[in-house]
Amino acid sequence: MADLAHRYENGFPKIGIRPIIDRRKLVKAATKEMTMELAREAARLLSETLRYPDGSPVECVVNDVCISGLKEAAQCADRFAKEGVGVLVTVASGWCYPLETMETNKQLPHAVWGFNGTERPGAVYMGALHAAHNQKGLPVFKIYGRHVQDMDDRTIPDDVQAKLLQFARAGLAAALLRGKSYLSIGSVSMGIAGCIVDDSFYRRYLGMKNAYVDMTEVTRRIERGIYDPEEFRTALAWVREKCRIGPDPNPAELVIPDERKERNWETVVKMALIVRDLMVGNPKLAEMGHEEEAYGYNAIASGFQGQREWTDHFPSADFLEAVLNSSFDWNGAREPYIVATENDNLNAATMLFQHYLTNTAQIFADVRAYWSPEAVERATGHRLEGRAAGGVLHLINSGPAALDGTGEMMRDGEPALKPHWEIADEEIDRCLAATSWRPTYMDQFAGGGHSTDYLTRGGMPVTMARINLVEGLGPVLQLAEGHTVELPEAVHAQLDERTTPTWPTTWFAPNLVPGDPAFDDVYAVMENWGSNHCVVSYGHIGADLITLASILRIPVNMHNVGAKRLFRPSSWSAFGTKDPEGADFRACAAYGPLYG
């Protein structure tokens, strides 16, 4: 059985807390204790609220002395570098010397919380500090509470807590990307541009590397038995017990024999084990004499080309993509592996963003069709109601949608997607019971295999997103918050049968914004979407995505997040306050990618 503790054997980035203080002797004596208490309180909030991808609490490092000048600032920076700090939060209770206490590492996401107390000029310090950062081209997030607090108040106001957490989630997501890699297994699938791996994008914007493996490496490992045979037997037994086989959609002359279907199951289980091992390595392989294969590629995401060179000959990759992207497998609940179908690495990067912000599995889908109320009524006789009244987007793709996407996990009695450490065994069983493994259409996947067929439960708040690359502009992010919706069973069946009913379906209704060019109606969302693919994440996380994008200097060209939820570095307002979207583009262009 695989021991996957090595997956994060080098640990996670920490949040460094920098208490800042006025260096004048009497002022320092009067405010040192308070400043340290506020710093520790911020660390407590972050550690108790946020979790790393493995479920462990986020670790904060509070500098053990208050920083009052250049020497202490340098000592703090050295300590944080040695301790693996990837995100910075500066805490100040009053005036300090900005140029002498500021941190100038532009690759570390940085927020500054200035205590709002009238006894000490916290607002003046905040103004001077963020002006210094802006003048030096070092964007910083400014946090300043709305209401004045008493000087003996050590609590963190709700609005300050919200900004600290929003910044920290996004900052950690950026830090988790740094130094990792995207593994491209194969090349371009069926002429899809999103499969083209842009090394410059990964290196300059995400701080990641790229690795490349031909799909023949998967074939080699299958044929030579380069996988854990004990885990293979466990996984195959799990498949036979848990994976419910659905009806074969093929005409009789194209139905393949049961013996071949069984061999295909064995192949796809091996494919899942091998792709996982390629991504993160497997010490078990070294014990078997395969030292090189045991290393892996330090990949936090991968993509499998599949179509058509693979799927014309071998069974499809639907099983490996669906199961690896899920929060569980034959080993029980565990963190999802991000694997993009058709090697669409831009969707993989989007999946990474949303996974690290939520710690949940992601739904990879085609933006297949917009169904207007009129078209639904014409096709089925049913008039859409409720959240679906303005029409729905049919999100569907061949296999990579995580099984979590069934919506069979529950929180407070409502369907949800949950971090793996919260998932109960019975919730895993419900997700599997709600999934039917349908033999593939042989005219599309000549090698056979089984597709993932399920219907996402309605009522879940979700966010649909996508990174696109545009010549002359670079990467841009687009997103749409909304809800999954349920259609009457007969209506869903009629609409689903018109496309590929063996694939998982999510009916999505975006939140509309009257008068907005992209969100005035559902058709406008479809019309402005930049690709054939999207990623759906549980929760309304658009504000966090926008904060993360600003850290990486990726502008957002389409969103339906209210202005009061936006949180970007303070310098963004210098690029224009009446047109936040335009200011975002101008700021990102001026500062350039986070990693140059």
First to last CA, the chain: 42
Q: How far apart are CA 420 and CA 424, in angstroms?
A: 9
Please tell me what DSSP assigns to residue 67.
B
Q: Which of 72, 103, 277, 366 is catalytic?
A: 366
Sign, CA torsion 27/31/33/36: negative
Any idea what the Cα angle at residue 353 is, between residues 352 and 354, rounded to 5°?
95
Q: Which of 59, 335, 342, 584 is catalytic?
A: 342
Q: How far apart are CA 534 and CA 532, in angstroms?
A: 7
Q: Is 450 annotated as a binding residue?
A: no
Exposure letters 550-568 (e unless 16+ CB within 10 A, then b): bbbbbbbbbbbbeeebbbb
**Does the annotation mark 214 as catalytic?**
no
Phi, psi of 328 (to 5 degrees): -165, 160
**At 591, which helix (H) or strand (E)?**
helix 580-591
Q: Measured between alpha carbons, how far is residue 329 from residues 259, 324, 437 in Å?
A: 24, 8, 15
Q: How far apart are CA 464 and CA 563, in angstroms?
A: 19
Q: Is 342 annotated as a binding residue?
A: yes
* Other CB atoms within 10 Å distance of the CB of residue 412: 5
Q: Is 312 annotated as a binding residue?
A: no
Q: Measured between alpha carbons, how far is residue 557 from residues 128, 152, 367, 529 in Å?
A: 31, 44, 18, 10
- 8 A C-beta contact, residue 374 and residue 332: no
Q: How far apart are CA 475 and CA 204, in angstroms?
A: 11
**Does the annotation mark 366 as catalytic?**
yes
Exposure letters 332-344 (e unless 16+ CB within 10 A, then b): ebbbbbbbbbbbb
Q: Measured between alpha carbons, how far is residue 513 from residues 327, 535, 563 in Å?
A: 33, 21, 12
Q: How far apart are CA 159 and CA 141, in angstroms?
A: 14
β-sheet bridge partners, residue 463: 481, 537
- 8 A C-beta contact, residue 477 and residue 455: no
The binding site for Mn(2+) comprises: 342, 366, 533
Residues belonging to the active site = 342, 366
